[in-house]
Structure 1
């Protein structure tokens, strides 16, 4: 099978959508080496080529002709390249497809990550919302099949775009293998010394923004009887000032540590040095940091209200995203009970097997085969 991937973000983005794109390409190339994989991207990237493409003989890169406006190529000219290259199936990895893909004989599948811009429009600019709505809705309409990264996202696609649920498959995401690798006590001690981290700390990872709701943890910190610090790792937005104001007003300045621009290879060490991972986000498409924490052998406390229970499983703890008292109690319960910690870690690791590479590759391949059969009937 010859499979094409819309790979712009695989080459340009080094956070969520980029991580997802590279992971899908890598695990498919590894577990289904009999296929040929073509990565369509407006621009190449030497580092990504070296780490993602060169290790696999079955991956090749196709870039836009220099003379063509790159956004125009992705939207309207890419289908011509797919036809010319005899691509059998095309996977739009990040919420969109070429506008004219349905007119070709090529089977198409699109991954929709979330519809947060519709559920929480106040987090997005008006212009961005209109663009996203048009692109996402068109992709869902034109695709032969849709991949949702969670049951929550599937429900949202049905609700907001009136899509037939039978057209949608849920295929969960995994996390980078680096989080599954146990590091030595010396290595963890070294990373704590580098960032001046305490022996024990609570951890939250994610962009510091209103939706991620890190302020809730600071409010819980105010009520905690145990003396433990909070480490927040993530890209800074204006929301950080709101957190800083609360910290200062409540004399928590010495209790909260912010880390920004942490190299990816050091992040698993920071996870593994933590006592509890806390993710109080109001809404997510899935919640990869939770899977990272489960694989890092840390108890997880997350928020109710979206899909975080899907990511954390039945043995993590969940609280309402506005209930700082409930979060305080959950933290205290975990900190006091070593048997509970051990049970959460053990069962969390078992649950995380649902998101391992081989399982994801098998599920993706099943969707691809189903999509090709559907396209044959369509044509």
Structure 2
């Protein structure tokens, strides 16, 4: 099979949809090398000359209007490149695939723009809604990354549940490699990290709810490290930290590689993720693979990602979150059980299982 991918995020996004795209293509190339995987992108950072798996716009006009190429004109390129299946990795597919006899599949990650419209500009909501609705009703197969996202598709688009498959998201292999005491010691010294700490990773924005962790940690005598890009919300948290005199035990950091980030996960005493909504919540399985116990939200997708041995809380209840953190830090037997059984649970997200599910989707479409 020749499978084409909408690879814009693969090449241009450093996290989120970019990580999803790179991980999925990587595991497919590893486990099903008999297929050909062609990556279509309007532009690329770095050299691409000679790489026959990368396809860019061919004409000057297509380069001048990359969005139009990606949404419309690309179809003719797919025909020329004899693509059997086109996979929209980020909630959209180009118009007119079926007329050219090209099968299509779309991955839907989340519908945050509909669940939390206040987080988006009105024009962005209109654009996202149009693209998602077209993809959902015109793709030959719709795949959600979680049962939560599947429920949202049914709710907001009145789309039949039986037409939606669920294939979970995997994570970078760095999180699955055990870190030695020596590695941790060197890393701790390099970045001047504390001996023991509570960890949170993710975009520092209101939906992720990191402020709640800061408030919960005020009376707990263990450092907190929050890793994520700078935002207005992050600035509010920093002001609060200064106001409360918490600079000595709360750090906001960013800029780590995947390998470095995986080491920080493995060093943490507990990973705390009181997000209000996610399509999946990849940091949860990153923590579980790293052998770090997880405290997260008690509703939505979070129990789906965290399994039966994570600790669940009401993300709006500061006192409940504080009690959960203290409980995991102070109860070594419970903590060890969370680590051992959490690691066993997360094996369902292994690369070989995800690759097999995707290869079956592609095979069924061609069949």
**Quick check: TM above 0.5?**
yes
Asked if the contact 1:315/1:344 (under 8 Å) is kept, the reply is yes
- Stretch moving more, 251-260 or 4-13: 251-260
Per the alignment, residue 192 of structure 2 pairs with 196
Q: CA deviation at 1:102?
A: 2.8
Q: Distance in 2 between matches of 1:121 and 1:288?
A: 22
Residue-by-residue CA offset, 1:22-55 (whole Å, 9 max, x unaligned): 11111111111111111111123437x69xx97x
Indicate the SS of the match to 2:53: strand
Q: Distance in 2 between matches of 1:189 and 1:350?
A: 26
Per the alignment, residue 130 of structure 1 pairs with 126
Residue-by-residue CA offset, 1:208-233 (whole Å, 9 max, x unaligned): 11111001111111243xx2010001
Residue-by-residue CA offset, 1:307-339 (whole Å, 9 max, x unaligned): 111111110011111011111111111111111
Verify: 1:114 aligned to 2:110, yes or no: yes
Per the alignment, residue 329 of structure 2 pairs with 335
How many residues of Structure 1 are paired with residues of Structure 2 in the alignment?
A: 364
Q: CA deviation at 1:66?
A: 4.2
Asked if the contact 1:209/1:236 (under 8 Å) is kept, the reply is no
Indicate the SS of the match to 2:218: helix
Residue-by-residue CA offset, 1:169-219 (whole Å, 9 max, x unaligned): 000001100011112212211222222211000000011111110011111
Per the alignment, residue 12 of structure 1 pairs with 12
Q: Distance in 1 between matches of 2:152 and 2:258?
A: 31
Any unmatched runs of 5+ in structure 1? 374-379
Per the alignment, residue 145 of structure 1 pairs with 141
Q: CA RMSD in A?
A: 1.6
Flag as ranges the 4+ runs of structure 1 deviating above 4 A: none
Asked if the contact 2:172/2:258 (under 8 Å) is kept, the reply is no
Any unmatched runs of 5+ in structure 2? none
1:1-379 superposed matches below 5 A: 1-46=1-46, 60-67=53-60, 68=62, 69-224=65-220, 227-373=221-367
Asked if the contact 2:174/2:258 (under 8 Å) is kept, the reply is no
Indicate the SS of the match to 2:312: strand
Q: CA deviation at 1:9?
A: 1.0
Indicate the SS of the match to 1:43: coil
Residue-by-residue CA offset, 1:323-356 (whole Å, 9 max, x unaligned): 1111111111111111111111111111111111
Q: Distance in 1 between matches of 2:84 and 2:292?
A: 42
